[in-house]
Amino acid sequence: MISKTKMENLFLALSVFIETMRTYIVGLLTKEGGDNWPNWYYDSLGENQKHIWNTGISGGSSPESLIDFGNLKGFSLKYRDLLKKDFGKKAYSLPTWFDEITEVRNKCNHFGNLEEDEVHRAYDNMILVMKHLKKKDDEDALVVYRDAVEQKSSGRRNGTGGRSSAPSAWFNIVTPHLDIRQGRLDESVFAANLAEIVLQNGREIYQNPVVFFSKTYFTQGLTNILKKVTSGLNGNQDAENRVISLQTGFGGGKTHALIALYHFVKLGKKAKDIAAAAELFASVPNPAYDKVNTAVFTNTTNDAIQGRKTNGLHIKTIWGEIAYQLGGKEAYEIIRPNDENRTSPKGLFKKILEKTSPAVILIDELADYCVAASGVTVGGSTLSDQTISFIQEISVAVAASDTCVLVATLPASAYEVANSPQASQILTSLSSRLGRVGADTRPVADEEIFEVIRRRLFEDPGDQAVIDSVVSAYMNLYQENNQEVPSGAVRSEYRERLKKSYPFHPELIDMFRIRWASHHDFQRTRGVLRILASIIADLWDRQGSLKGNNYLIHPSDVSFTNLDALSGQLKKLYGNGYDAVISADVSGSSSNAFKIDQDKREYGKHSLTQGLAASILLGRRQ
């Protein structure tokens, strides 16, 4: 049986493998079928696999995310001739390779017993596939995971290891995660989807608990939520804290928190086997349960008009869904008439919770669902009215239970739902019924954004001695030029901000976190992460041609021409007119900034005009 460290490395290696295979398969089939590539892949699936695919698509999953280990073998059999272009005669071996990899992955997912020889065989197969595909970075990553003796659970390097601690360029000190280095930065990488996780679909960063926790910084708010939920499931938490409402703006970490809860609760006692989650247990009690029944409801779980058909049932409401997910048909029968008639049950959910505890209920995007449900008439009311009434019913039932917890998310304002009087009324009604348990349930506090960014975007935080020398170099520069910089830049507090934000200059993060986030359509943490990831990917790719010492990443380092995610976000928030502003004045060989740098050699040495123009545009008053 392999060690915990090797098991964790294997989780990470499998994540690298499947993400690369997804990209490869989409590219391969697109060459043959164009935008119709999903149908080509669908044709290689078995009947049960097709059912899973259809369920995923109806639940909002992307076709690419539905390419999974279990259907690689069928794909390799169906399209052997296509695969020969890259694998030659080894295309005949692919079904066996995929089969062996999938078997190990399934055991890994269930924390089953794995022997050294089958793990080595899976690694060999994955590495062989990467060799044939000429994916050197992925091959190297797999070799590192295979040969690693000690898992870098925290990723911290405490000493210089004999190297100089003199300041150096950021890309010599920290390494971005593989997906960022390779530029795999589509929307789904930063858009968490709880429904996909429940269906066991979606990107590995969210689906794979080891990968998810390795890239998650456990903020004080998230830690408190996990503590409340675990204590509640253990049976030793005050009833009033069994119902938790998370209410933040777009991209504020609500769905990410629910995914963390889902994985943590499903793992139960096995959560302690994941090194990346070990830090939690200084604050979070050990789970006392072996298994918890879970129910997850999002705005895509059950269509307000059509409902959902499964296992011979036609479930029409949120109470029908929760009952069925917690206790199957037996629990559903208790409230079947209420579900069929779309009328909120009264006093019945206490019985369901007694039969299914310990249980956790996670509800995401509830306000959005209620807006859709407002169009469904139920007697003299609507399904939205009935749903809001049910929230009161289930909150009371959960609060009265011994080992049940309910966590629901709500937007910060009605604008995020529909920006209408009806949406505002719905949000007010839901908020009053769920209540708010306090500021400590805010998933990400303002100052924690720095560590969230660092954990999500970089493999490790770098050599602290070198980082300290970089910070000292900046502070010395500011103190020597104290008349030319803001007064706050020479204070000790600013030194700490430089440390926290490394490898970014804090002003770059603040531009997005404060100025851009003031726009109601900007998705806060999610939006900041996506834009910063695109900036890193661009600079990492161009590191050989960058000018200056590059100790930190500044607003002036941003190249709008290379960053579709950034320029696209700017146009989305403030209008398409900025497209002309960027090309005419800020970035690109036709811009005035570029021409000035070309005309004045002393400016061009540092791309001074282009950097200044980029900084002004990024920091514009909103």
Q: Tell me, yes or no, if the pTM score tops 0.85.
A: no
560-569 tens-digit pLDDT: 887 777 777 7
With bands split at pLDDT 50, 70 and 90, how would you rate the model's confidence at 413? low
Region 596-617 average pLDDT: 89
Choose among 153, 218, 204: nearest CA to 9.
153
Q: Percentage of residues in the chain with pLDDT exceeding 90?
A: 52
Q: Spell out the domain ranges in the chain.
A: 4-151, 220-441, 456-618
**Angle 4-33/136-147 helices, nearest 10 degrees?**
160
pLDDT at 153 over 70: no
Residue 411 near residue 247 (C-beta atoms within 8 A): yes
Q: What is the pLDDT of residue 520?
A: 67
With bands split at pLDDT 50, 70 and 90, how would you rate the model's confidence at 112? confident
Q: What is the pLDDT of residue 440?
A: 38
162-208 tens-digit pLDDT: 456 789 999 999 999 888 888 877 666 777 788 888 888 878 888 88
Q: Which amino acid is at 75?
A: F
Residue 183 near residue 518 (C-beta atoms within 8 A): no
Region 373-389 average pLDDT: 94
Q: What is the pLDDT of residue 415?
A: 58
With bands split at pLDDT 50, 70 and 90, how would you rate the model's confidence at 619? confident
With bands split at pLDDT 50, 70 and 90, how would you rate the model's confidence at 23? very high
What one-character-per-residue DSSP string does 281-323 give? GGTSPPP--S--EEEEE-TTTSBTTTBEEETTEEE-SHHHHHH
Region 457-484 average pLDDT: 92
With bands split at pLDDT 50, 70 and 90, how would you rate the model's confidence at 522? low
With bands split at pLDDT 50, 70 and 90, how would you rate the model's confidence at 157? very low
How far, CA to CA in Å, does 228 sit from each of 232, 234, 284, 358? Answer: 6, 10, 8, 14
Region 513-524 average pLDDT: 70
278-297 tens-digit pLDDT: 888 889 999 999 889 999 99
| Residues 6+ positions from 477 with CB-CB distance below 8 Å | none
| Residue 193 parent element (H or E) | none
DSSP at 286: P
**For the domain with range 220-441, which CATH number is right: 1.20.58, 3.90.550, 3.30.720, 3.40.50?**
3.40.50
* Strand, helix or coil for residue 13: helix
Backbone angles phi, psi at 294, to 5 degrees: -125, 145
Cβ neighbours of 367 (radius 10 Å): 25
pLDDT at 438 over 50: no
Q: What is the pLDDT of residue 156?
A: 38
Q: What is the pLDDT of residue 161?
A: 47
User: Please, what is the average pLDDT of the chain?
Assistant: 87
Residue 426 near residue 417 (C-beta atoms within 8 A): yes
Q: What is the pLDDT of residue 250?
A: 44
Choose among 453, 575, 540, 445: nearest CA to 502.
453
The CA-based angle 456-459-460, given to 5 degrees, is: 105
Region 66-76 average pLDDT: 95
Q: What is the pLDDT of residue 524?
A: 65
Region 497-517 average pLDDT: 88
pLDDT at 229 over 80: yes
223 vs 216: CA distance, rounded Å: 11
Q: What is the pLDDT of residue 152?
A: 43
Residue in the block written with tokens 């303002």: 446
Q: What is the pLDDT of residue 163?
A: 53
* Strand, helix or coil for residue 505: coil
49 vs 51: CA distance, rounded Å: 5
pLDDT at 3 over 70: yes
For 223, counting Cβ atoms within 10 Å of its Cβ (0-12 exposed, 13-18 middle, 19+ buried), the class is middle
